Chain A
Amino acid sequence: MGDIKDGDANEIWEMSEQGCYVGLTYDHLNIQEAMDKVRSPMAGAIVLFAGTTRDNFAGKPVKELHYTAYNKLALRSMLAICKDILNKHGLKGISMIHRLGTVPIGEESILIAVSSPHRQAAWRAGEEALEACKSRVEVWKREEFEGEEGVWRANRDGAMGQKMDS
């Protein structure tokens, strides 16, 4: 399973609307860009969350992670989440970018940046955005282990996912 296949040229990679920016990419995530998407003279705070890939699952060593997505639907869900959270917390901006393909251990797999007039709303909004993303967005993670087949994870129950047949 390669990172990029035929058909990706027709794929959608980003969407934006009224203070909300969402993206998917096979590249390294760019923290500066994620922050600049939400920068505003009316904001007194930007909170940035960077999710990084951990080297173990319940103590079992993980070699690397591989992410895949239903791009069109994932971006639509991400945008819906961002719009909800922007309105609920009176944010000035929110960006959510997820990396796809192979992500080596210790690198960022997701960035969420939010800006608001005051820091309290930004902290809360950042956490809510991440939790909503993890529970709903159509992105999947496969953990690759040393010397055995990988498993698809499910955020829902935190349990081991399905064993791969290939």
Chain B
Amino acid sequence: MTSSAPKSPPGHFSLLYFASASSFTGKDYESLSAPISIGKLFSELESRYPGMQAKILDSCLVTVNLDYVDIPTEGEEGLVIQEGDEVAIIPPVSSG
């Protein structure tokens, strides 16, 4: 599995999926419309992949351009993802 997504088209950002997030969506990455808040992104993912919030996202962290960002609590928007950003869903890690 590669961890480099091609550059996202104008008005979009790249969303990378790893491990269980990749298995659940059947994708390594995709391009989505920007700007969008982390809160809205999670709602969008739940509607695209029903069950993803409870099965995957609840146990995941999120990075934007390689930095971990706060996951907004319910009803909050959180950080706003911008065009060209590289966002990743990070499931619990298991190296070694």
Interface residue ranges, A against B (CB under 8 Å): 1, 5-8, 10-11, 51, 67-74, 76, 98, 109-110, 130, 133-142, 152-157, 161-162, 164-166
Contact = CB atoms under 8 A, between A and B. Distances in A.
Given A11-B3, A73-B66, A76-B66, A141 B95 contact: yes
A72 B86 CA distance: 11
B90 interface: yes
From DSSP, what is the main secondary structure of chain B's interface residues? loop
Specify the main secondary structure of chain A where it touches its partner: mixed
Contacts of B88: 70, 73
Contacts of A161: 19-20, 92, 94
Interface of B: 1-6, 16, 18-20, 22-24, 26, 55-56, 59, 63, 66, 88, 90-96
Contacts of A157: 92
Contacts of A5: 1-2
Contact of B95 (A11, A73, A137): A137
A98 B91 CA distance: 18
A5 to B, nearest CB: 5
B96 A152 contact: no
B34 to A, nearest CB: 20
B4 A138 contact: no
9 contacts: A68-B1, A72-B66, A73-B90, A110-B96, A141-B95, A152-B20, A153-B94, A155-B95, A162-B23
Contact of A166 (B5, B6, B23, B59): B23
Nearest to B86: A72
B94 A109 contact: no
Contacts of B90: 70, 73, 138
